[in-house]
Structure 1
Amino acid sequence: MKFSDQERALLREIQRDSTLSLNALASRCGMAQSTAWRKMQEFERAGLISARVALLNPALAGRKLCVLAHISLADHSAEAIEGFTRMVQLHADIQECFKVSGTSDYMLKIRVADVEAYEDFMTHNLLRSPYVRSVVSSFVLKEVKATTALGLQ
């Protein structure tokens, strides 16, 4: 999609704070309130705006440890891929799952309380899965940048 400067401004503002009133959004983007409302409706209908959510502080929510787990599947049959995908969808501790190139098949972003909670999760869920051959885990020591906002040039 191509965006005007005002549309990009509108999208940047709602990514920063989706609770802003329509009046505040329009004012910050230099457009009429009715135009801002119409643009928001268009973006939602087109699927560009897929959700409006509140982002929680993981540490305050009791999920301070972030783990990046590289998963290699036992095999690459349709059954194994579907089974692994179902397992990923069932676990709330898995925040993100990416099919990746390289030495592993998938990368998971997992948030848990601490190392003991991750060891339990890995042992009882990942390593016991018939679809998983191996898990290589990296513990995030420090988040240098964390954003949900897409850059709009």
Structure 2
Amino acid sequence: MDRFDIALLEALQNDSSLSIADLAERVALSPSACHRRVKALEQTGVIAGYGARLDPKLLGLTMEVFVEITLNSQSREAMDRFERAVGDFDDILECHLMSGTADYLLRVAARDLGQYDSIHRDCLARLPGVSAMRSSFSLRRIKQMRGYPVR
């Protein structure tokens, strides 16, 4: 990647709705060169997709919860079963396989404690092979991810 690719990635992470013309102007490329570079970054998978950043509070999601999960077994079958099940629940926003004391870290958003209780009972408690679950509630987000560093 050269400086133009880096500039394109930074601009698209900041605002993926930019037209090719606006993007080209922002990174000092012709529109055709800009289009070719963006297509190449998409084809190589560096750009994995596009989306909008939503404000969870405006959606009524005032709670962010991090849930540490420990499994009964770390066998491949147990982990595969757990990971497949996580994919079935839209309430689980992220799932990370971890090193350390917990096997997985989940991120969940909820409107309030009542909704989190429902998510806990109807979603998290149904995940296979769980031996322990520990929830931590975010009190306040200090910094939100705005994109990956590309430099």
The offset of 1:33, in angstroms, is: 0.9
Alignment of 1:97-136 (within 5 A): 97-136=95-134
Where structure 1 has 5 or more consecutive residues not aligned to the other structure, the ranges are: none
For structure 2, list consecutive stretches of 5 or more residues without a partner in the other structure: none
Residues 89 and 148 from structure 1, CA distance in 2 versus in 1: closer, same or farther, beyond 3 angstroms?
A: farther
SS at match of 2:87: helix
RMSD: 1.3
How big is each residue's C-alpha offset from its partner over 1:43-79, in whole Å with a ceiling of 9 and x where there is no partner? Answer: 0110111111112111111222110000000112233
Q: Which residue of 2 aligns with 1:86?
A: 84
Deviation string for 1:64-118 (max 9, x for gaps)?
A: 2110000000112233212211221011111110000111000001111111211
The aligned counterpart of 2:144 is: 146
For 1:15-54, what per-residue CA distance to the aligned partner results, in whole angstroms no more than 9, with x for missing partners?
1111111111011101111110000010011011111111
- Amino acid paired to 2:42: E
Indicate which of 53, 56, 61 corresponds to 1:55: 53
Q: In structure 2, what is the Cα distance between the partners aligned to 1:111 and 1:14? A: 26
User: Could you say which residue in structure 1 is the equivalent of 2:64?
Assistant: 66
Q: How many residues align?
A: 151
**Segments of 4+ moved more than 4 angstroms:** none
| Counterpart residue number, 1:4 | 2
Normalization by structure 2: what TM-score?
A: 0.94
In 1, the alpha carbon distance for the partners of 2:139 and 2:37 equals 40
- Partner Cα distance (1:24, 1:68) in 2: 38
Please tell me the residue identity of whatever aligns with 1:139. Answer: F
Question: In the alignment, is the contact (CA less than 8 A) between 2:65 and 2:138 conserved in 1?
Answer: yes
Counterparts of 2:128 and 2:21, CA distance in 1: 53
Alignment partner, residue 23 of structure 1: 21
Counterpart CA distance in 2 for 1:74 and 1:127 is: 14
Structure-1-length-normalised TM-score: 0.93
With 79-88 and 23-32 compared, the bigger mean Cα shift is at 79-88
Q: Is the 8 A contact 1:126 1:132 kept in 2?
A: no
User: What is the DSSP-based 3-state SS (H/G/I as helix, E as strand, rest coil) of the residue aligned with 1:133?
Assistant: strand
